[in-house]
Amino acid sequence: MLFRWLACCPFLALATAGGFSSAFAQEPQPREVEVRYNLVYASHAGKNLALDVYLPSGEGPFPAAMVVHGGAWRLGNKGQLASYARALAENGIASFAINYRLAPEHPFPAQIEDCRDALRWIGDNAATYRIDTAHIGGVGYSAGGHLVALLGAQGIPDEESPDEEPANRKPPRLCVVAAGGAPCDFRVFPERWDGLAYWLGGTRRQLPDVYREASPAAFATADDPPMFFYHGESDALVPRQSPQIMVDALKAAGVEAEIYLAPGIGHIATTADAESLRRGFEFLQKHLLPPQGEPDGD
């Protein structure tokens, strides 16, 4: 159960450090990648939030992916999925691996607010990094998978857009989500359980609205992007029913959604499961990259 997550999350930050490139169907000749580290995308109370950019070689414009690390919303950093971000760039998808504020110092909704800031920053800097803002995806595992699913479902609310935002210039939305090991519905948690109080501020009985606001499944609507979830069949940390609820809600709304259950493995092992990663990458390719034979801007 997810209730054991707090005891295991220190290992999450380590288990997702590498091993992704071999799972991806490489281009005939993988592209060279330029990496730009520690670019500040937002500041809060004097603390800078940074991201790393992985740029494919070529003229662009490139599809892009925002890559969001896991760690139970209280651990981890943008280097956690560096291999994943680089592999995406080798296959023509510019990647932005982000840091975000961590609990308990920064409880929810700080993490999703930071993801929105990062997505807005990508849009604002699209010309600099040769990004096609109509084709930006979200990729994450565990807490990161939760955040990209929530960002995909909620987008950037109008009230969060700066007052000076031109009327004809909207912040980008994710056009596809690929999330692994993602908790998607906190509304089903026991009312009095306080295992996530460090992040959500209390129990579900005390703060039902907060638990709903943190639940991607509560915001599944017809305008959501296609989403792919992969999950360990034997995941004892995040119940597989959680992403399944999201998939069912998306399908009911008419949105393309899939889930792949990796046979016989748990939460940690699924981070580097080759078949899970291959399927997730194929889903991203389908919605981000031009069909074979069409130009990609090179």
142-188 pLDDT per residue, tens: 999 999 999 999 999 876 555 555 545 689 999 999 999 999 999 99
251-276 pLDDT per residue, tens: 999 999 999 999 999 999 999 899 99
- Residue 29: pLDDT band (50, 70, 90) is confident
- Residue 290: pLDDT band (50, 70, 90) is confident
- DSSP annotation of 148: H
- Amino acid in the structure at residue 54: Y
Sequence-ordered list of residues with C-beta below 8 angstroms from that of 239, at least 6 positions apart, any chain = 1, 2
Q: What are the residues facing 139 on neighbouring strands? A: 67, 178
Q: What average pLDDT does the segment 278-295 reach? A: 82
The pair phi, psi for residue 135, each rounded to 5°, is -135, 75
The pair phi, psi for residue 107, each rounded to 5°, is -75, 170
- Judge contact between 175 and 287, C-beta under 8 A: yes
- Judge contact between 51 and 118, C-beta under 8 A: yes
Evaluate if residue 92 carries a pLDDT over 60.
yes
How far is it, in rounded angstroms, from Cα 249 to Cα 252? 5
- DSSP annotation of 225: P
How far is it, in rounded angstroms, from Cα 264 to Cα 174? 31
How far is it, in rounded angstroms, from Cα 89 to Cα 72? 26
What's the pLDDT at 203?
98
How far is it, in rounded angstroms, from Cα 113 to Cα 197? 19
- Burial of 295 by CB count in 10 Å (0-12 exposed, 13-18 middle, 19+ buried)? exposed
Evaluate if residue 61 carries a pLDDT over 50.
yes
What's the pLDDT at 11?
39
- Residue 22: pLDDT band (50, 70, 90) is low
Evaluate if residue 9 carries a pLDDT over 80.
no
Q: How many CB atoms lie within 10 A of CB 4?
A: 13
Evaluate if residue 211 carries a pLDDT over 60.
yes
CATH tag, 2-161+170-288: 3.40.50.1820
How far is it, in rounded angstroms, from Cα 185 to Cα 208? 12
Evaluate if residue 296 carries a pLDDT over 60.
no
The pair phi, psi for residue 189, each rounded to 5°, is -70, 150
Q: What average pLDDT does the segment 69-93 reach? A: 96
- Judge contact between 148 and 179, C-beta under 8 A: yes
Evaluate if residue 216 carries a pLDDT over 60.
yes
- Amino acid in the structure at residue 155: G
In the chain, the percentage of residues whose pLDDT exceeds 70 is: 84
DSSP SS3 for 182: coil
How far is it, in rounded angstroms, from Cα 211 to Cα 22? 37
56, containing H or E segment: strand 47-56
Q: Quick one: tokens of 189?
A: 């948690």
Domain boundaries defined on the chain: 2-161+170-288
Give just the sign of the alpha carbon dihedral 232, 233, 238, 241: positive
- CA-to-CA dists, residue 229 to 41, 45, 49, 101, 276, angstroms: 27, 35, 27, 24, 9
- Judge contact between 248 and 188, C-beta under 8 A: no
Helices 110-124 and 143-154 sit at what angle, rounded to 10 degrees?
A: 60
